[in-house]
Amino acid sequence: MEKALIESSRNIAIHIAILWVPNMRILKMQPKFLDKFLESLEKFGALYGPVHRNGVMKYDRIESVSELDLSGHQLPMIPVKKLFNPKQFTMLHFNEKGFYPDYSMIEKRVIIGVHPCEIHGVLRLDEIFLNDPADPYYAGLRDNSAIIGFSCWPTESSLCKSAGTDIVDEGFDLFFMNLNEFYLVWVGSSRGYDMIHEREEFFEQEVSHEDMRKYIEWRNKRNEVFKLEIDFGSMPDIMELSHNSEVWDYFAEKCLSCGQCTMVCPTCNCYNVSDVFDVTNETTGRRERTWDSCMFVDYSLVAGGHNFRESRADRLKLWYTHKLKTFGSEYGRPGCIGCGRCVDTCPVDINVVTVSQALISGEVPKE
C-alpha cells in the first residue's frame, strides 16, 4: 500500500514535470472526433501507421484511417526505423559523368500510432544518423515526417518501464494518451500546433484536475502489468566485467546467425552498400543500401579473410555491448529501448532478458 502511494506520488511528480515542459501544451479530445481529426492530417503528408496485412502488423501507407490499429496492444513486427532508414533504397546513381544522389524516396508523411518506446528508438538513431555529417536520406525523411504518438499497453515482453522509455516528452509532433473516456493530447512541436490549430473545434482547452487524476490512475494500473524487468542501471558494469564469461559461449553455441534480432531491433542501424548496373546498360547504374546485421557471419571480414569477430560469441558481445552498455559514443546511453521484440523474435531465446539474467547470475538459463 505504502509502496503504491510512494509510486503514485512519484508519478504525479514526473507528470507534473512533463506538464510543465515549456511550450508543451496539453489538450483534451473526445474519442468521436479522432478519426475525423486524423483524416484531416492528410494535408500534412501521406498517412502511415500500424495496420494488419496478411496476418502481420506493420507500418504501412494507409488509404483510410479506419485501417489503423491504434489499440496500442501490439507493436508492428518491424520497427518504425524502416520509415527513416529504409530496408533497401538507391543512394546514388552513376553514369559516365559520375555519381548523383537520388532523393526520390523522400516524401511528406504523417506517421500515426507510434508508441513511446519507438519514439525513443528514433531519438537514439538520431544520435547516429544526424551526427555531423548528417545522413541526408535519414535527415530528409526525418524533416519531412510528422510523428503522431499514441499511448500503449504493455505486452508480455515489454521492458520499457525498466528502460525508462514508457513515457516520452520529446520526439513527437502530437501525442495521444488514450484514457478510454477521452484522449489527452500533448502538442510537441510547432508542426503539431499547426495540426490542431486548424481543427480547434475538436479540442477542449481545459484539462481538469480530475482528468489528470484519471491519467495518473491509468499510469499506475499500467505499471502493474509489466511482467519482465531488467536492471539497466547496473548492466554497463556487468557487461564490462563479463567480457570473458562463459555465458557468451553458451549463447554462441545456440545462435543461428539469422540476424532477425537485428531486423526487429529499433536501434540497429547497420547497413551494407553495393553497386548495381542497370540491366540494359554497361555504364549506368545505382549504388544501393540494404540493412545488414553484425550477426551475419561475413559482417566484419576484412580483406585477406582475417575475421576479427570470428566467433559468434564475439558477435553477440558486440550486439549486447551496444544494447546494454553504450551505443554511439563512450558516454552514450545503452541502445535498448525495451520494446521486447528480441524476446518475441529470437528462435532460440537469446534476448536482452536471457542475456542480462545470465550475466548477472553467472549462470546459463535452464533448458
Is residue 274 a contact point for ligand FAD (CB under 6 A)? Answer: no
Q: Is 57 in the site for ligand SF4 (CB under 6 A)?
A: no
Q: Are strands 174-178 and 145-150 parallel, antiparallel or unpaired?
A: parallel
Of 59, 139, 148, whose CA–CA distance to 106 is shortest? 139
User: Is position 270 an interface residue for ligand FAD (rule: CB under 6 A)?
Assistant: no
- 296-315 residues in contact with ligand FAD (CB under 6 A) are 298, 301-305
Q: Which of residues 159-188 bind ligand FAD (CB under 6 A)?
A: none
In 147-231, which ranges are continuous DSSP H helix? 160-163, 190-197, 209-225
27 binds ligand SF4 (CB under 6 A): no
CA–CA separation, 33 and 303 (whole Å): 60
- Indicate the SS3 state at residue 149: strand
Q: How far apart are CA 114 and CA 125, in angstroms?
A: 15
Select 142 or 312, whichever has its Cβ closest to ligand FAD. 312
The yes or no reply on residue 257 touching ligand SF4 (CB under 6 A) is yes
Q: How many residues bind ligand FAD (CB under 6 A)?
A: 6
Is residue 55 involved in binding ligand FAD (CB under 6 A)? no
Where does this chain bind another protein (CB under 8 A)?
A: 91-92, 94-95, 98-101, 103-104, 106-107, 128-129, 131, 133-137, 139-140, 143-144, 243-244, 268-277, 283, 285, 287, 292, 294, 299-304, 306, 308-309, 314, 317-318, 321-322, 325-330, 332
Instruction: Please give the residues from 346 up to 365 whose contact with ligand SF4 meets the rule CB under 6 A.
Output: 346-348, 350-352
Helices 247-254 & 352-361 angle (0-180, nearest 10): 150
* CA–CA dist 355, 333 (Å, integer): 18
Helix, strand or coil, per DSSP, at residue 226: coil
Shortest reach from residue 252's CB to ligand FAD, in Å: 20
Can you tell me the distance from the alpha carbon of 50 to that of 75, in angstroms, rounded to the nearest whole number? 8
For residue 305, the minimal CB distance to ligand FAD (Å) is 3
The item of another protein, ligand SF4, ligand FAD, none sharing an interface with residue 339, based on CB under 5 to 8 Å by kind, is: ligand SF4
Nearer to ligand SF4, 24 or 258 (CB): 258
Piece of 52-60, 128-136, 180-188, 264-272 that binds ligand SF4 (CB under 6 A): 264-272
Cβ-contact 49, 68 below 8 angstroms: yes
How far is Cα 217 from Cα 238, in angstroms, rounded to an integer?
35
Residue whose CB is less far from ligand FAD, 178 or 262: 262
Kindly report the backbone phi and psi dihedral angles of residue 319, in degrees, each rounded to the nearest multiple of 5, phi listed first. Answer: -60, -50
> Can residue 74 be called a binding residue for ligand SF4 (CB under 6 A)?
no
Across-strand partners of 46? Answer: 109
Q: Could you tell me the sign of the dihedral formed by the alpha carbons of 301, 306, 310, 316, in that order? A: negative
264 binds, among ligand SF4, ligand FAD, another protein, none (CB under 5 to 8 A by kind): ligand SF4
> Which residue in the set 159, 168, 177, 358 belongs to the binding site for ligand SF4 (CB under 6 A)?
159
Pick one of ligand SF4, ligand FAD, another protein, none as the site partner of residue 98 (Cβ within 5 to 8 A by kind): another protein
Q: 3-class DSSP state for residue 61?
A: strand
**295 touches 255 (CB < 8 A):** yes
Closest CB to another protein among residues 202, 327: 327
C-alpha cell at 71: 489499440
No. of helices (H) and no. of strands (E), the chain: 13, 14
> 349 - beta bridge partners?
none
The yes or no reply on residue 113 touching ligand SF4 (CB under 6 A) is no
Q: Which residues bind ligand FAD (CB under 6 A)?
A: 298, 301-305
Q: Which residues bind ligand SF4 (CB under 6 A)?
A: 159, 255-261, 264-267, 295, 323, 336-342, 345-348, 350-352
